[in-house]
Amino acid sequence: MFPGIALAEAFLSLSPGGSVSFVGTEGGLEARAVPSRGIEIDFVSSGQVRGRGAGGLTGVAKMIGGLSASFRVLRRRRPDFVFGVGGYASVPVSLAAAATGVSLFLQEQNAVPGRSNRMLGRIARGVYTGFGGAVPYFPPGRASVSGNPVRREIVEAAAESRKRVPPPGPFTVFAMGGSQGARAINELVLGMGREGKGGEGEMRFLLQTGEKEFAAVENVVREEGLPIEPFPFTDRIGDFFARCHAVLMRAGALSIAEAALFGKPCVLIPYPFAADRHQEKNAEEFCAGGGGIFLRQEQASVTKVREALSLWAGDPARRKLAEEGAAGFSRPGAAQAIIRSALREMGRGVDGGV
């Protein structure tokens, strides 16, 4: 969803007279986040089509219903082109676009594409990837590395942050496990907070816990006096990137893109159960450029993670190199570059609708 919002912002900035609408599912995060930005959204049914049991049949039924609804949406909206950005809803609307002759483009965030985008890549006019590792999964000449599009507010906050001097005070780590939080990340931070409390080389932590674990984590932090500032979730993620020296997180594609924009070195602990182990591939590609350290879940003990962070805390020159590596991975102009490229592919100027 967030890459789609970034692309919508870019299109409207390039074509003020154009129009944008989304297609999503009523149960998805987009049902709230898209209308809150003043963008119209249509809902279709969709689901995972996998397995032979009742779950698989339910997914097929939802997909058929979603495809029919997508044809109706396209007849009413009459877009010039469609961007599939992942998620269940992108499949029926992308298939409907291709079937009706509407130009279809894809934006693949991860280093290993999902099965749906691999399939849709065969019928799309172009595919824009966040990682170079994704390109070989698509037909030759179809995909190009664009970087992942990030919302304008975060791009602007990152540009402003990088003009300032480093944050004052003790070495500060921004730790997060995604919008739902990650128990493993929370437990690591609590452990590091206990180890370092009151000692030399103290680290402080900004910890996004997720809604479900916030109360429990907050109680522990308060009772034990740990150097941790917990919060459940925020839409203003840029504020926290700006306050830290380094980041501890999973290896989600968009989180990596955002950290890179701020030039923040990362310790990445990929989610071990991600489809096709795509988070490991995300981490490998990002860290190959010098912007971070990659630890598998089984390696990520409190001691190992603290040692990794201490490399940067105790050596400003080493941290500077890692900051440069992270910043080198960033693509602040990705959203506009993708839209411009798609319009060129269609032989169009910056007008129309998407």
Check: CATH 3.60.15.10 for 154-329? no
Cα–Cα distance measured from residue 195 to residue 301, given in angstroms and rounded to the nearest whole number: 12
pLDDT in tens, 94-125: 999 999 999 999 999 999 999 999 999 999 99
Q: What is the DSSP string of 267-334?
A: EE---TTSGGGHHHHHHHHHHHTTSEEE--GGG--HHHHHHHHHHHHS-HHHHHHHHHHHHHH--TTH
Q: Which CATH class is domain 2-150+332-346?
A: alpha beta
pLDDT-based confidence at residue 48 (cuts at 50, 70, 90): low
Decide: residue 198, CB within 10 A, 0-12 exposed, 13-18 middle, 19+ buried: exposed
Q: Are 171 and 163 in contact (CB under 8 A)?
A: no
Residue 24 DSSP symbol: E
Nearest alpha carbon to residue 272 among 292, 294, 287, 243: 294
pLDDT-based confidence at residue 354 (cuts at 50, 70, 90): low
Domain with CATH 3.40.50.2000 in the chain: 2-150+332-346, 154-329
Instruction: Name the 3-class secondary structure at 7.
Output: helix
**What confidence score (pLDDT) does residue 54 get?**
46
Q: Are 207 and 175 in contact (CB under 8 A)?
A: yes
Cα–Cα distance measured from residue 88 to residue 105, given in angstroms and rounded to the nearest whole number: 16
pLDDT in tens, 183-209: 999 999 999 999 887 665 689 999 999
Provide CB contacts within 8 A for 203, sequence distance 6+: 170, 171, 172, 173, 192, 196, 227, 306, 309, 313
Residue 227 DSSP symbol: S
pLDDT in tens, 316-341: 999 999 999 999 999 999 999 999 99
**What confidence score (pLDDT) does residue 353 get?**
58
What's CA 68's distance to the chain center, in Å? 29
Decide: residue 50, CB within 10 A, 0-12 exposed, 13-18 middle, 19+ buried: exposed
Q: Are 176 and 208 in contact (CB under 8 A)?
A: yes
Instruction: Name the 3-class secondary structure at 139.
Output: coil
The pLDDT of 222-233, averaged and rounded, is 95
